[in-house]
Structure 1
């Protein structure tokens, strides 16, 4: 259980890093002059790591879900809203965890009742994510057949695992 919580924490933290477009460490170098597997062509603007991951995710999902053009036109706007809301929820979880970490390290002094509130807020963040997922599931039912919704959730997990493996190897979305 401890390993699972640590893994989830690392995943949430890593997703926060990818969301920071302004971090120069996550920018592609501008001297790339040919297609690098991330859709960059000679002379094009470099993509941030976040944009690279999102592009790879769209390509992966498109392949896995086998969306018709009509389904795709209805699905992607809803999915993008869903994903943005989940990112906000995960950022709140991450911030709550940082606050707990500061309290545990002694960086900030808190009472047991304050620490309890921090823990409650942290757990509530996961509940918020569950509510978001439940609400959007209803939206997905209006757009896609059940089989494709099942493929969506499977593709999300497969993509997450793929990204973790690539990050462990020191690569990004284009390095297989």
Structure 2
């Protein structure tokens, strides 16, 4: 593995001390985003041209995906986590299911449009590498979180 790929991975692994209790969620999200940018840039070996075209599209996609997953599902997740799911009415349950299905459908179309936009920038091989790099990053992030939990 060359140094160009090793450096972001080391940065990723060493930078997870930001899980301190004094930082707020927005700061954590920004730090994760910075690590992700570094990781994806290295994994995809982006040219200057590709980076200029890719990052605005990716950031817009990522922000919209976050909004769909977290903002639209807030009321449902609150209900799931407060223990009142056993007391939910059938009508409320149907409404939540419709909301979940609509959100999943929006996510599907968002991902599809994102893929179409990428075809103007990247080869199909690089699009597949992006998908793998995103999964690898998420897996490493989750592993770091799990390791942090075991140290307590």
TM-score by length of 2: 0.74
Deviation at 1:131, TM superposition (A): 0.9
What is residue 46 of structure 2 aligned with on the other side? 67
Q: What CA distance in whole angstroms lies between the structure 2 residues aligned with 1:76 and 1:70? A: 10
- Extract unaligned runs of 5+ from structure 2: 1-19
The aligned runs of 1:3-152 (5 Å cut-off) are 25=21, 27=23, 48-91=27-70, 92-101=72-81, 103-106=84-87, 110-152=88-130
Structure 1 pair 156–48 and aligned structure 2 pair: CA distance change class (3 A): same
* CA distances 1:2-32 after superposition (whole Å, capped 9, x unpaired): xxxxxxxxxxxxxxxxxxxxxx93518xxxx
Q: How far 1:93 sits from its partner (Å)?
A: 3.0
Q: Which residue of 1 is the match for residue 144 of structure 2?
A: 166
Partners of 2:137 and 2:80 in 1: CA distance: 30
Structure 2: distance between partners of 1:154 and 1:27 = 30
**Residue in structure 2 matched with residue 36 of structure 1 by the alignment:** none
Q: Which runs of 5+ in 1 are unaligned?
A: 1-23, 29-46, 172-176
Greater RCO structure (CA 8 Å; 6+ sep) = 2
Pairwise CA RMSD = 2.2
Offset from partner CA, 1:88-130 (integer Å, 9 cap, x none): 1101234423335554144xxx531221111121222111111
Distance 2:80 2:98 in 1: 11
Residues 90 and 26 (structure 1), Cα distance of their counterparts in 2 relative to 1, 3 Å cut: farther
> Comparing both structures, which one devotes a greater share of its residues to helix?
2
